[in-house]
């Protein structure tokens, strides 16, 4: 993985990789990808992907309102809020 | 050059469940900001989703209504992107295995006839919250009440060829979800939202042109205007030798134009993968059959039945089946009064005008079906004339009194006694001697004037047919 | 008192040898003395612990005799505790006080256990040495120069070091079993779906499972009886009856078929550990079990597949930490991207960031099939290997870890660290239950025997582990320091 790819992935993940760290990050991740690439040694054609170890199906919830208004308690956890709203820097659409 | 417009619509319909798609938080509209946003909705650490069974049943109901394939196993996926109205940093949606597969919807065409529009799929997903950009000068406010409200995203094939067709499709969709009672379909409140994929190509070409996506169009009228604007913009651009850029655009209704969305400079890579917090959703034949038996009669079927069973004109059948409440209302009146044509007329003309004037939905009609049926019966049995009936109708709308009560109390009963009518006629002839003479001299059209005078004298209560006949007899004798 | 296991403490409490308040006070004092060097706890809740202990004593006086009543408990700091900071070992959540309890927390409270504090862990459970914790590494009570293992290293150090008789942990790739092995205690990871994940901060949702760290398998059985069971708030929690694990413990080993997996004895296994594990297997054989050689042909692919699946799920699970609704937020963000990028870059440590990047990469356009889907196919192969093996054997046994605890800083290369979990990871990919029980020492440091069971074979697994502990006393050999305390 080269620096431009690291950059692209970091942007997608909203993480900063400073120029000073870039080499080390690239080396470390390169090592991990080499490990991961051992997967390619086995032929998995025709093997159904397994997303989940459980052989079970989704349970359905009754359509009932079970939650109550906890705004004050929950909003108090926010680093920045005002007038009942979470506050973020101006969003431009 | 002649151009053809090609349109595909992606319509988001909010399902009218009581609670959210994955949590037990209320979905009621209009609450104070963030009072309907609980720990799962806020993506608090360690919280987990459990699927709302009613939302699933609603999606299946829609699928069956449009003759679509229902997936026996559907899978939720995570769609990853960062946005402040998306608390988890991913939207739980369905990519490869949506609940509803291929189906179709029939729309009426302007010049008569019909067209079948393909529906590619309809998948379940959760709604996002709202960013309030105007709330503060120094930032945006985030209200997460809407986050997690169940949505059905209905994706059409690029089968639509004009803005008018797009609107007809959207109206049909609106009518279907209302008939199915799975959404209020209210575009102004955002419970139905429309994105349009628009491209143009030379008439007769088989390749599609480059398309743009217009986001968030929030009324039927704007759908038409936005598409027309965009098609014109593309045509002018191409005719000037330009090229269309594939992009997302916003429709600005105040300026009636579309423009590219800003702030989307980072190319999105949604990195979909199966949502590990949810298991495959299995829908068995038994459930499908149960939902099928509960399906109401749909607008197309009902329209055909109204035409066949009640002998309504195609126009009346269309108007009366446009929404389920209206059709139900009409049917109750028609059955109770025994005259479908009169019922159709009264519901689609008088009642509709009243509702429009008062800005009311039919569900809130001030006139009950029983009262309207009685009123129609009183016309049929000759108790009152059609004209007087309109007076009674107005009084039904503004008070609590019943039809017969109003007729009796105000003495509106039609006068059919020949002797009484003769007295009226004698008086009219005496007071309008010149006109009477003109009739006798052969000026037939004066009769109408004299009848009018007689009716006026009777305060509208005289039977007009009798007045006509007796007047003629008297003048010609 | 501080050396006794849960089963013994429960008997002493009901006999009236001491009260729960006395027991909790002793633990708190011990924590005060030892935690500064072990760094096993991130937070202590002295006041509420004493109140809960007093309530437990009162309940006992009124006739309550639940086995965990009044027993001190530590939760890994990954379980949300209402009103009590839950950090997940991260700067991101250093001040996060959840307004809700995890399912596991509710159930153990309901069973009468007394919460005394939250234990140290690798940040977001990503690590095998406890060195990625924002709060500094926990230390191994057998040798403070060595790691206690991870990610549930604080829980293991607390139980082994005499700070607390039982603790919860989570295991995504070996995070309960490996620290148990390194610290010489019993670590149990149940089948996926057996214990609720509600309120347990997610690392990799399809792999994470809560379990126990105790001084005996019998203790694990008592904790599991309280923790296991359906939680309707967790869609992956299974609806099947919870067995009475304690009543199954005494079943004899005669006739038990034990699979010995060839790949678990391959190169890289330390000679002392290999000798010890062979001896442990011989003990089982002596007690009437039959040893059967088996193969797990795709085991070598488990670490590569895991390092796609786990980071991929983690990359999405950790997107919610964006500085908006809770958690760390950077100072004076200039715009939205700055808010996200700086808050996350400041809030997460290097290992967490690395895994998010790897996971993001594995899911990104053009790589999904080669990485994510490929890993899922390998996951199926790995599960198949186990299914196949369990047609021939009742349990599978081998080493938990290739060697004993290593010194702090010894594994600077992440890949080297990842390979630590070569024997444990496949169990998570397959969703199976696994337990590590003390099986010997090499150079004065403990190591564990890992026993793996089929889906929902919890009762049999705990039974085999307990029987092994009837034949051996490795689980009794707590660190000298813990043994030297007044009891």
Domains of chain B: 3-289 (no CATH), 297-409 (no CATH), 418-476 (1.10.10.410)
- The enclosing domain of A12 has a CATH number of 1.10.20
- Tell whether C417 is covered by a domain: yes
Is residue C307, in this structure, part of any structural domain at all?
A: no
- CB burial string C371-403: b at 16+ within 10 A, e below: bbbbbbbbbbbbbebbeebbeebbbbbbbbbbb
Token duo for residue B31: 């609450």
Whether B295 has its CB under 8 Å from any CB of chain A: the answer is no
Residue A28 lies in a domain: yes
Paired tokens of B374 = 């009685």
A28-62 b/e with 16+ CB inside 10 Å = b? Answer: bbeebbebbeebeebebeebebbbbbbebebbbbe
Measure the CA–CA gap between C81 and C86, rounded to whole angstroms: 7
Does residue C106 or residue A54 have the better pLDDT? C106
What pLDDT is stored for residue C228 in this prediction? 98
Locate the chain B residue with the closest alpha carbon to C124: B45
Q: Tell whether B292 is within 8 A of chain A (Cβ).
A: no
Out of B26, B34, B261, closest to residue A85 by CB: B34
**A63 located within any domain:** no
The single residue of C20, C76, C90, C196 carrying the catalytic annotation is C76
Check C133, C151, C181, C401 and give the catalytic one: C151
Let me know if C175 is a catalytic residue: yes
- Tens of pLDDT, residues C288-303: 999 999 999 999 999 9
Q: Which residues from C are below 8 Å from B131, CB to CB?
A: none
For residue C157, what are the domain limits? 6-259+391-483
Contact C68, C108 (CB under 8 A): yes
Q: Let me know if residue C27 belongs to a domain.
A: yes
C315 and B90: CB-CB below 8 Å?
A: no
Choose the closest CB to C319 out of B42, B47, B82.
Answer: B82
Look at residue B477 in the predicted model and tell me its pLDDT.
Answer: 75
Q: Which residue has the higher pLDDT, C78 or B216?
A: C78
Residue A6 placed within a domain: yes
The domain in which residue A9 lies consists of 1-42
As given in the structure block, the two tokens for residue B463 are 């039977």
Cα separation, B179 vs C64, in Å, equals 58
Contact A50 C380 (CB under 8 A): yes
Residue C413 lies in a domain: yes
Measured distance CA(A55)–CA(A47) in Å, rounded: 16
Asked, for residue C289, whether it belongs to a domain, the answer is no
pLDDT at residue B445 greater than cutoff 90: no
Contact A54 C315 (CB under 8 A): no
User: Where residue B263 falls among pLDDT bands split at 50, 70, 90?
Assistant: low
> Would you say C194 and C211 are in contact if contact means Cβ atoms under 8 Å apart?
no
CB of A76 less than 8 A from some CB of B: no
At B233 the pLDDT is 96
Q: pLDDT, tens digit, for every residue of B138-147?
A: 999 999 999 9
Of residues C325, C335, C379, nearest to A86 (C-beta): C325
CA B142 to chain centre: 31
Q: Which of C307, C326, C340 sits opposite A77 (nearest CB)?
A: C326
CA closest to B83 among chain A residues: A91
Among partner residues C320, C336, C372, which is closest to B87 by beta-carbon distance?
C320
The better pLDDT of the pair B45, B476 is held by B45
pLDDT for C482 equals: 56
Cβ of B46 within 8 Å of Cβ of C360? The answer is: no
Residue B353 is predicted with a pLDDT of 93
- For residues B300-329, give the mean pLDDT: 90
pLDDT at residue B265 tops 50: no
What subunits touch chain C, counting only 3 or more CB pairs under 8 A? A, B
The size of the A-B interface in CB pairs under 8 A is: 128
Q: Is B132 on the interface with A (CB under 8 A)?
A: yes
- Give dist(CA B230, CA B249) in Å, integer: 9
Whether the complex's predicted ipTM surpasses the cut of 0.95: yes
Q: Give the number of beta-carbon pairs within 8 Å between A and C.
A: 163
CB count in 10 Å sphere of residue B68: 23
**Residue B34 is encoded by which pair of tokens?**
């963030």
User: Region B464-475: what's the mean pLDDT?
Assistant: 86
Mutate to test the interface with A, among C96, C377, C414, C452 (most CBs of A within 10 A): C377
From A75, which residue of chain B is nearest by alpha-carbon distance? B34
Containing H/E element for C484?
A: helix C480-484
| Contact across the interface for C80 and B46, Cβ inside 8 Å | yes
pLDDT (mean) for A11-22:
93
Would residue A47 count as lying in a domain? Answer: no
| Average model confidence (pLDDT) across chain A | 93
Backbone φ and ψ of C39, nearest 5°: 55, 40
Report helix, strand or coil for B458. coil
Q: Over the stretch B86-131, which tens digit does the pLDDT of each residue have?
A: 999 999 999 999 999 999 999 989 888 899 999 999 999 999 999 9
Query: What sign does the CA torsion over C267, C269, C271, C277 have?
Result: negative
Residue of C nearest to B52 (CA): C235
Q: Write down the mean pLDDT value for chain B.
A: 92
Chain B positions touching A48 (Cβ under 8 A) are none
Could you tell me which residues come within 8 angstroms of residue C64 by beta carbon, excluding any fewer than 6 positions away? C112
For residue A49, tell me if it sits in a domain.
no
- Give, for all 487 residues of chain C, the pLDDT tens digit: 889 999 999 999 999 999 999 999 999 999 999 999 999 999 999 999 999 999 999 999 999 999 999 999 999 999 999 999 999 999 999 999 999 999 999 999 999 999 999 999 999 999 999 999 999 999 999 999 999 999 999 999 999 999 999 999 999 999 999 999 999 999 999 999 999 999 999 999 999 999 999 999 999 999 999 999 999 999 999 999 999 999 999 999 999 999 999 999 987 899 999 999 999 999 999 999 999 999 999 999 999 999 999 999 999 999 999 999 999 999 999 999 999 999 999 999 999 999 999 999 999 999 999 999 999 999 999 999 999 999 999 999 999 999 999 999 999 999 999 999 999 999 999 999 999 999 999 999 999 999 999 999 999 999 999 999 999 999 999 997 754 443 3
B265 touching chain A per CB within 8 A:
no
Domain for residue A56, yes or no? no
Residue A23 has, within 13 A of its CA and on its CB side, a CA count of 1
Kindly state whether residue A88 falls inside one of the protein's structural domains.
no
Instruction: Give the total number of structural domains in chain C.
Output: 1
Q: Which CATH number do you get for residue C442?
A: 3.90.1300.10
Catalytic residue among C175, C343, C401, C436: C175
Query: Across the beta sheet with B130-132, what order do the strands follow?
Result: A81-82, A85-88, B140-143, B130-132
Task: Name the residue among C155, C152, C227 with its Cα closest to residue C196.
Answer: C227
Q: Of A74, A87, A93, which is closest to B262 when you measure between CB atoms?
A: A93
- Taking the CA of residue B96 and the nearest CA in chain C, the distance in Å comes to 14
Calculate how close chain A gets to C55, using CA atoms only, in Å: 28
Of C80, C232, C319, the CB nearest to B89: C319
**Are residues B33 and A75, on separate chains, in Cβ contact within 8 Å?**
no
CB spacing of A57 vs B281 below 8 angstroms: yes
In-domain check, residue A64 = no
CA C310, CA C129: separation in Å to the nearest integer?
A: 17
**Residue C315 forms contact with B (CB below 8 Å):** yes
Sort out which chain A residues have CB atoms less than 8 A from B135's CB and list them. 83, 85
User: Nearest-CA distance from C479 to chain A in Å?
Assistant: 36
Which chains are within 8 Å of A by 3+ CB pairs? B, C
Spatial distance between the Cα atoms of A18 and C345, rounded to a whole number of angstroms: 10
pLDDT of residue B318: 86
Mean pLDDT of B276-292: 96
Q: Which residues of B touch A57 (CB under 8 A)?
A: 279-282
Interface test with A, best of B35, B147, B263, B265 (most A CBs within 10 A): B35
Whether residue C157 is contained in a domain is answered as yes
Residue C217, min C-alpha distance to chain A (Å): 25
- The confidence score (pLDDT) of residue B262 equals 64
> What pLDDT is attached to residue B185?
94
| Phi (first) and psi of residue C360, to 5 degrees | -65, -40
Across the interface, whether the CB atoms of C197 and B46 are under 8 A apart is answered yes
Facing C380 at nearest CB: one of A41, A49, A86: A49
Q: Does C393 touch chain B (CB under 8 A)?
A: no
Q: What are C285's two structure tokens?
A: 């054989």
Rounded to a whole number of angstroms, the CA Rg of chain C reads 21
* Residues of chain A positioned with their CB less than 8 A from the CB of C319: 14
C232 to chain B: which residues are within 8 Å by CB? 50
pLDDT of residue C483: 44
Q: How many domains does chain A have?
A: 1
User: Edge to edge, what strands does the sheet with B248-252 contain?
Assistant: B103-108, B114-126, B150-156, B3-14, B192-202, B212-217, B248-252, B257-260
- Could B82 and A14 be called an inter-chain contact, meaning their C-beta atoms sit closer than 8 Å? yes
Count CB neighbours of C414 within 10 A: 22
């Amino acid at each position: 993985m080269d620096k431009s790819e690291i950059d692209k992935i970091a942007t997608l993940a909203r993480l900063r990789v400073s120029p000073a760290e870039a080499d080390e990050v690239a080396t470390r991740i390169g090592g991990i990808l080499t490990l991961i690439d051992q997967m390619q040694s086995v032929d998995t054609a025709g093997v159904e992907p397994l997303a989940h170890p459980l052989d079970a199906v989704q349970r359905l919830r009754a359509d009932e309102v079970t939650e109550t208004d906890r705004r004050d308690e929950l909003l108090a956890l926010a680093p920045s809020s005002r007038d009942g709203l979470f506050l973020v820097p101006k969003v431009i659409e | 050059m002649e151009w053809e417009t090609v349109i595909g619509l992606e319509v988001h319909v909010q399902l009218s469940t009581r609670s959210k798609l994955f949590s037990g938080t209320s979905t009621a509209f209009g609450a104070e900001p963030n009072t309907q946003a609980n720990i799962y909705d806020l993506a608090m650490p360690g919280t987990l989703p459990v699927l709302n069974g009613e939302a699933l049943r609603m999606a299946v109901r829609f699928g069956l209504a449009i003759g679509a394939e229902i997936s026996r196993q559907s899978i939720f996926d995570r769609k990853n992107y960062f946005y402040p109205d998306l608390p988890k940093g991913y939207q739980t949606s369905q990519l490869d295995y949506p609940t509803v597969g291929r189906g179709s919807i029939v729309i009426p065409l302007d010049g008569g006839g019909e067209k079948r529009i393909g529906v590619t799929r309809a998948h379940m997903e959760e709604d996002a919250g709202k960013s309030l950009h105007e709330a503060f000068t120094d930032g945006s406010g985030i209200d997460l009440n809407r986050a997690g409200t169940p949505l059905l995203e209905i994706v059409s094939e690029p089968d639509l060829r004009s803005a008018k067709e797009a609107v007809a499709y959207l109206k049909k969709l609106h009518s279907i979800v209302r008939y199915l009672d799975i959404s209020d379909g209210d575009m102004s409140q955002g419970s139905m939202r429309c994105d349009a994929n628009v491209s143009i190509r030379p008439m007769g070409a088989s390749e599609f042109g480059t398309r743009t996506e217009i986001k968030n169009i929030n009324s039927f009228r704007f759908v038409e205007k936005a598409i027309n604007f965009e098609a014109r913009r593309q045509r002018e651009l191409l005719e000037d030798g330009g090229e269309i850029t594939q992009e997302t655009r916003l429709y600005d209704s105040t300026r009636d134009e579309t423009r590219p969305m800003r702030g989307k400079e980072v190319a999105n890579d949604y990195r979909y993968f199966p949502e590990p917090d949810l298991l495959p959703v299995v829908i068995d034949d038994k459930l499908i059959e149960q939902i099928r038996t509960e399906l109401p009669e749909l607008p197309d079927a009902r329209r055909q039945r109204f035409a066949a069973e009640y002998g309504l004109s195609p126009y009346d059948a269309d108007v009366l089946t446009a929404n389920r409440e209206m059709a139900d209302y009409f049917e109750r009146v028609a059955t109770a009064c025994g005259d479908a044509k009169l019922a159709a007329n009264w519901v689609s003309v008088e009642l509709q005008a009243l509702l429009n004037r008062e800005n009311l939905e039919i569900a809130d009609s001030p006139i009950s079906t029983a009262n309207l049926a009685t009123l129609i019966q009183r016309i049929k049995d000759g108790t009152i004339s059609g004209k007087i009936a309109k007076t009674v109708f107005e009084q039904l709308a503004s008070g609590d009194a019943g039809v017969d009560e109003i007729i009796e109390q105000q003495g509106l009963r039609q006068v059919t006694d020949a002797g009484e009518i003769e007295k009226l006629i004698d008086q009219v002839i005496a007071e309008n001697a010149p006109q009477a003479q003109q009739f006798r001299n052969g000026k037939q059209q004066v009769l109408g004037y004299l009848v009018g005078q007689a009716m006026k004298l009777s305060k509208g209560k005289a039977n007009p047919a009798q007045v006509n006949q007796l007047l003629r007899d008297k003048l010609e004798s | 008192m501080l050396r006794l296991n849960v089963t013994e403490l429960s008997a002493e409490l009901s006999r009236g040898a001491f009260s729960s308040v006395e027991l909790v006070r002793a633990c708190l004092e011990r924590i005060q003395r030892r935690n500064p060097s072990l760094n096993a706890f991130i937070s202590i809740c002295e006041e509420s612990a004493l109140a809960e202990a007093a309530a437990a004593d009162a309940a006992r006086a009124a006739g309550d005799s639940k086995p965990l009543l009044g027993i001190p408990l530590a939760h890994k700091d990954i379980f949300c505790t209402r009103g009590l900071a839950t950090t997940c070992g991260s700067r991101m959540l250093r001040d996060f006080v959840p307004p809700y309890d995890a399912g596991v927390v509710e159930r153990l409270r309901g069973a009468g256990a007394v919460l005394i504090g939250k234990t140290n862990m690798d940040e977001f459970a990503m690590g095998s040495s406890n060195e990625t914790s924002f709060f500094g590494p926990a230390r191994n009570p057998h040798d403070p120069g060595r790691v206690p293992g991870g990610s549930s290293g604080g829980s293991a150090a607390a139980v082994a070091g005499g700070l607390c008789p039982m603790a919860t942990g989570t295991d995504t790739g070996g995070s309960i079993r490996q620290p148990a092995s390194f610290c010489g205690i019993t670590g149990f990871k149940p089948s996926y779906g057996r214990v609720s994940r509600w309120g347990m901060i997610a690392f990799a949702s399809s792999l994470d499972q809560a379990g126990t760290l105790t001084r005996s398998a019998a203790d694990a059985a008592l904790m599991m009886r309280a923790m296991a069971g359906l939680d309707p708030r967790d869609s992956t929690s299974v609806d099947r009856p919870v067995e009475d694990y304690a009543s199954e413990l005494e079943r004899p080993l005669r006739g038990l078929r034990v699979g010995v997996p060839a790949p678990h004895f391959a190169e890289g296994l330390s000679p002392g550990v290999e000798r010890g594990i062979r001896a442990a297997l011989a003990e089982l054989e002596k007690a009437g079990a039959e040893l059967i050689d088996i193969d797990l042909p795709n085991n070598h692919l488990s670490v590569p597949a895991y390092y796609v699946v786990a980071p991929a799920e983690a990359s999405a699970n950790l997107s919610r930490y964006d500085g908006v609704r809770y958690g760390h937020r950077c100072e004076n963000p200039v715009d939205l991207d700055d808010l996200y990028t700086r808050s996350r870059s400041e809030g997460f440590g290097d290992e967490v960031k690395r895994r998010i990047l790897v996971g993001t990469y594995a899911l990104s356009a053009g790589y999904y099939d080669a990485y994510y889907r490929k890993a899922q196919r390998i996951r199926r192969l790995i599960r198949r290997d186990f299914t196949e093996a369990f047609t021939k054997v009742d349990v599978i046994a081998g080493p938990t870890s290739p060697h004993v605890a290593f010194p702090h800083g010894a594994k600077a290369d992440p890949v080297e660290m990842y390979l630590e979990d070569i024997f444990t990871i496949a169990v998570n990919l397959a969703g199976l239950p696994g337990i590590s029980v003390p099986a010997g020492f090499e150079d004065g440091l403990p190591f564990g025997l890992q026993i793996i069971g089929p889906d929902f074979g919890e009762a049999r697994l705990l039974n085999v582990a307990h029987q092994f502990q009837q034949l051996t006393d490795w689980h009794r050999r707590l660190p000298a320091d813990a043994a030297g305390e007044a009891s």
